Structure 1
Amino acid sequence: MADFAHALGLPTEIGFHDIFGFEPDLLAMVPQPVHAILLLFPITEASEKARLEHAATRNDDAASDDAARVWFTRQTIGNACGTIGVLHAVANTLNEYSVADDSWFGRFFAATRAMTPGERAAHLEADDSLEAAHAGAASSVASSTATPSPEREVDLHFVALVHVDGGLYELDGRRDAPFRHGDTARESFLVDAGSVVKKFVERGGDSLSFNAIAMGPNGGDAMF
């Protein structure tokens, strides 16, 4: 994951770190500050029910406010949820670091800044350079996970959790808009996000197919 993100322009001082659990002693192992969390979880009936209930109860005015402050894109490319998660994580944490204007991230975010989530998705689909970067990272020895083909059916999904203007947002490309879970702060984001992750785990039943990854300072032990 780090190879892919760095190839697109994420500064090398930012890395990705495994979160082994959300108990205080385990959270103390995570380099701070945490800028975003990428969560891999199993798609279950309970998780889908929660997603649809969130959409049904969304306040349109609040959703409009969220859309104005949170960078969000729809996912229209099959099995690209990890890529979408990285985009959501980086785009919403550029107040913590910067990317070069001539990097892929710099060009993409500049081009899509004023677009709707649907327009951003279409722009992403048309970008062949992203696929090339993804292929290069996937072939790297340091890359530890294989990316499934767009046609392959999978029952796992990535979402990003980010802190934007005092809100804790879940960004899922299958949704129409960002979903706000509540308030948070830079200092409490990791703990607050842990409460959200625990809800996902509860909806996962007996599944062990969960992985929480923190994006933050690269202390030399980045996992991907």
Structure 2
Amino acid sequence: MGQKTYRKHFIPLESNPDIFTELVHSLGVSESLGFQDVLSLDDPDLLAFIPRPVFALILVFPCADDYDQRVDEENANSPPYDGSGPNEEVVFWKQTIHNACGLYALLHAVSNGDAKDHINSGSILSNLLDAGIPLKPFERAMVLEDSKQLASAYESVARKGDSIAPENPEDEVNFHYICFVKSSKTGNLFQMNGDLNGPIDLGPMKAEDDVLSEKCLQVIHNMVKDNDSNIGFSLMALTSS
């Protein structure tokens, strides 16, 4: 991948459900929703602890040495997403802020499916969606870049957590966040990665299934299996708090 040039850089978020929950509430999502760790992909007893329904899953994974090459290849084989307006199958946010992949995963989680029904009117997130949804992807991305309220809310939580945040937001980090959501338009499962040209349609889900379904868990399981090491992966669910 050629060297990217960014106008804006953020401190990367720790993969911590408390931090993600605090941020999503400050952006205007109802306190009835929150994030929770998913501790297993296949243990039914551990999965049973997750309140249902699950509105979205956020996966963080270590970037292998060939991650940039894989992104370039995937983007070369797919046309840039050009969706806009209220009839979009999913709301996609193209990442243009450096080190903010956690934020983009969070925004994908709450901008899609039934989670968006829990956004408070007049909130930061409500206003961003009102401004961004009518726009094409690049102009929509600029809505996020230009939001001082979003930057302030993000900064208020970015240095919290147990890990030491980089002092310089321009420093590279070797982890990346993506999100899985269920379209409220079609019921299809989507992978949302702001580094890619657009959302990836993973196909239909059963009407009664939420995102913590066997279909989605198998996709994640395959991603973990295909990595050289499963160390560094973690998964969070957006669900009832």
Q: Please confirm whether the aligned pair reaches a TM-score higher than 0.5, indicating the same fold.
A: yes
2:219 corresponding residue in structure 1: 196
Unaligned 5+ segments in structure 1 are 219-224
Structure 2: how far apart are the matches of 1:90 and 1:71?
10
Correspondence for 1:161 among 172, 176, 180: 180
Structure 2: how far apart are the matches of 1:57 and 1:183?
22
Shift of 1:134: 1.2
1:170 corresponding residue in structure 2: 191
Structure 2: how far apart are the matches of 1:215 and 1:196?
18
1:99 aligned to 2:122? no
Say whether the 8 Å CA contact 1:40–1:211 is kept in structure 2: yes
Shift of 1:27: 1.5
Correspondence for 1:131 among 151, 169, 182: 151
Structure 2: how far apart are the matches of 1:147 and 1:87?
21
Matched residues, number:
214
Structure 2: how far apart are the matches of 1:131 and 1:96?
21
- Out of 12-21 and 144-153, give the one that drifted further: 144-153
Structure with the largest fraction of helix: 1
Structure 2: how far apart are the matches of 1:42 and 1:155?
6
Measured against aligned partners, the alpha-carbon deviations of 1:95-120 in whole angstroms (never above 9, x if no partner) come to: 66331221001111011111112111
Unaligned 5+ segments in structure 2 are 1-19
1:75 corresponding residue in structure 2: 95
Say whether the 8 Å CA contact 2:53–2:210 is kept in structure 1: no
2:3 corresponding residue in structure 1: none
Measured against aligned partners, the alpha-carbon deviations of 1:19-39 in whole angstroms (never above 9, x if no partner) come to: 111112221121110000000
The two structures, once aligned, show a CA RMSD in angstroms of: 2.5
1:183 corresponding residue in structure 2: 204
Say which SS state the counterpart of residue 88 (structure 2) adopts. helix
Measured against aligned partners, the alpha-carbon deviations of 1:60-93 in whole angstroms (never above 9, x if no partner) come to: 6xx6689931100111111000001111110003
Q: Calculate percent identity across the aligned residue pairs.
A: 29
Question: Comparing both chains, which one has the higher relative contact order based on Cα–Cα distances under 8 Å and sequence gaps of 6 or more?
Answer: 1
Measured against aligned partners, the alpha-carbon deviations of 1:145-167 in whole angstroms (never above 9, x if no partner) come to: 56544301011000010011221
